[in-house]
A and B are shown apart, each in its own frame.
Chain A
């Protein structure tokens, strides 16, 4: 039995039945992390001592018969979530030495459930990127082909799960940062409805788009974690006070009569024929199970990327103004005056892509341009949201590819920011409209995994997870592990 290829439910059952202890489980994953992180660079910080302390607590709880399903389950946290007493970098030089003085709500909830923290995962700097190449700590390598990127921004979380260095990892998704890396590494990942999971203690990039979620091999694994992470938090002013269903109890495998909306615009234009064929083959699995395919259209979907690249940089420029070199974060040497302190601390602390987005946002919000860009983008955002809402009158879930291509080689996308931005062409729409969306593995192109994207109306995480689960009952793509990590 390989502990690292068991599902969360199987791990929970093994822990409850004393087949192995939480400490044994933690040691197994600590050893895997230490063995493989040198090549993959998927963790920024490994926390073996914390993991063993968490595991000892979990074992004590289990011995008292007090443990829940997640008690003793190891996990990795994206390094965007503040962890009390543990370095939290957001993959930026700006926060290289930052030790968070408090836990993010996501961290707090998962710890309270008895999970074991293995480490903090690598990511694009401040979650700005789609390849994990903007990290101050260097790129993450894709376990399926280490000359290729894992996607981003949650590339480290994707890689640790794909290589089974952790059973599950948290992620965040502002424009596709959970779904695209999940697709490129052959795992499942869900971005819930905006407001579903608290953003408290999650370092902000674009506050009206950012949402935390979870990445794991299967939809069932995701369901078990998401139901614990989700819920109202008064410390996040955009947290929504809507009850959280027990997602893992609602994984009915039947999709009989489910109306699956095939979004026409997702299959037009640049989509590679082989990628489209994989998605169509996945849809056939649903048809075979009794689902009904419906042709739907969101005519202005193509404007989602330019809309995003107004809204996200605008919010980024505002959020990242907190990094001033005074209270925390990088401070330059020998500032000659306060202006010099601000400018050099920020100039040295931020990487190229982060500076690019701060400047883009600063320009778009500056006097004389606000109406033409930001206000206009918010109007287009409304339009795209309405088109989604209209599509949901015809369909229960919408589907399409997650990513235009499989994982690309490291360093391949050069200096043209637009090429990189277009990686998120299929994922950004859900963020603009605040919709829950998920990616599940649906096959391989030349040995590299690709994902099927499912998008639902607000607060239909149960439906998305059940729809994904039904597919995973009929297929085994989500169980595939790269040969070097079996």
Chain B
């Protein structure tokens, strides 16, 4: 299957990635090559094979008690944010 430039623009939008024109051209070719490569899997008859959800057999997702374990460290955690005001993250206006 061959992807068009428009397909890749749509994928980039879904992935929230801005791409330059040059990047779009490279991505169109390389994504097409990758899809052709992984398409080898379609030749295999996998009827009856349980999809493997975990690399270890019989493991289940563990749950922890629903209690607060974190202390308030927002100053430390927010030190990596580029724009803050009153401990709130600033983004461009969403609602006019």
Considering the chains assembled together, what is the distance between the CA atoms of A351 and B91 in angstroms?
A: 24
| B41 adjacent to A358 (CB under 8 Å) | no
- Whether the Cβ atoms of A381 and B52 lie closer than 8 Å is yes
* Cα–Cα, bound, A326→B90 (Å): 7
Asked whether A57 is an interface residue with its Cβ less than 8 Å from the other chain, the reply is: no
* Cβ–Cβ contact A358 & B17, under 8 A: yes
- Taking CB atoms and an 8 Å cut-off, the chain A residues in 315-365 that contact chain B are 317, 321, 324-329, 331, 335-344, 346-348, 350, 352, 355-356, 358-360, 362-364
For residue B11, which residues in chain A have a CB less than 8 angstroms away from its CB?
359, 362-363, 366
Given A99-B80, A101-B76, A373-B41, the answer on whether A355 and B92 have CB atoms closer than 8 Å is no
Q: How far is the CB of B12 from chain A (nearest CB, A)?
A: 6
Which B residues lie within 8 Å of A421 (CB)?
37
Q: Which chain A residues border B50 with CB–CB below 8 Å?
A: 379, 382
Give the A interface residue count (CB, 8 A): 75
A337 to chain B, nearest CB (A): 5
Shortest CB-to-CB span from B47 to chain A, Å, is 9
Query: B52 and A343: CB pair below 8 A?
Result: no
With A344-B18, A366-B14 already in contact, the answer to whether A331 and B82 are too (CB < 8 A) is: yes
Distance between A376 CB and nearest chain B CB, rounded to angstroms: 5
Give every chain B residue within 8 A of A346 (Cβ-Cβ): 15-18
Given A237-B62, A359-B12, A360-B34, A327 contacting B89 (CB threshold 8 A): yes
Contact with A along B52-64 (1 / 0, CB 8 A): 1111100101101
A382 touches B18 (CB 8 A): no
Chain A residues numbered 41-86 whose CB sits less than 8 Å from any CB in chain B: none
- In the assembled complex, the Cα of A329 lies from the Cα of B53 at a distance in Å of 31
Cα-based distance from A238 to B52 in the complex (angstroms): 15
Does A237 contact B61, Cβ atoms closer than 8 Å? Answer: yes
Cross-chain contact A326 with B89 (CB below 8 angstroms): yes
* Chain B nearest Cβ from A335, distance in angstroms: 5
A 111-130 to B, binary, CB cutoff 8 A, 1 in contact else 0: 00000000000000000000
Known: A317-B15, A328-B80, A359-B31. A377 touches B23 (CB 8 A): no
With beta carbons under 8 angstroms apart, the residue of B49, B51, B52, B81 that contacts A327 is B81
Q: A90 at interface (Cβ–Cβ under 8 A)?
A: no
Q: How many residues of B contact A (CB 8 A)?
A: 52
B51 touches A382 (CB 8 A): yes
The answer to whether B30 touches A238 (Cβ under 8 A) is no
> Taking the nearest CB of chain A, how far is it from the CB of B17, in angstroms?
5
Give every chain B residue within 8 A of A309 (Cβ-Cβ).
34, 37-38
In the complex, the answer to whether B8 meets A379 with C-beta atoms within 8 Å is no
The answer on a CB contact under 8 Å between B41 and A303 is: yes
Q: Which residue of B lies closest to A434 (CB)?
A: B55
Segment 55-84 of B: residues with Cβ below 8 Å from A: 55-56, 59, 61-62, 64, 73, 76-83
Question: Which among A243-251, A256-264, A412-420 touches the partner chain?
Answer: A412-420
Q: Are B41 and A336 in contact, CB atoms less than 8 angstroms apart?
A: no
A433 beta carbon closer than 8 Å to chain B: yes
Complex Cα spacing A434 to B83, Å: 41
Inter-chain contact A415/B30, CB cutoff 8 Å: yes
Q: Is the CB of A376 within 8 A of B56?
A: no
**B19 to chain A: closest residue by CB:** A347
Contact of A416 among B33, B61, B77, B94 (CB under 8 A): B33
A383 at the interface (CB under 8 A from B): yes
**Distance of B1 from chain A, by nearest CB (Å):** 10
10 new A-B contacts at CB < 8 Å, known A356-B30, A362-B11: A99-B79, A99-B80, A305-B37, A344-B18, A355-B15, A372-B42, A380-B41, A416-B30, A431-B55, A432-B55
Q: Which residues of B contact A (CB under 8 A)?
A: 8, 11-19, 23, 26-27, 30-31, 33-35, 37-42, 44, 46, 49-56, 59, 61-62, 64, 73, 76-83, 89, 91-94
Nearest 4 Cβ contacts at the A-B interface: A434-B55, A347-B18, A378-B51, A328-B80
Q: Can you identify 24 A-B contacts, CB atoms within 8 angstroms? A: A98-B80, A99-B80, A195-B59, A300-B44, A306-B38, A337-B94, A343-B13, A343-B16, A343-B18, A346-B17, A347-B17, A352-B23, A355-B15, A362-B11, A362-B15, A363-B31, A376-B41, A379-B51, A380-B44, A380-B49, A415-B30, A418-B33, A418-B34, A431-B55
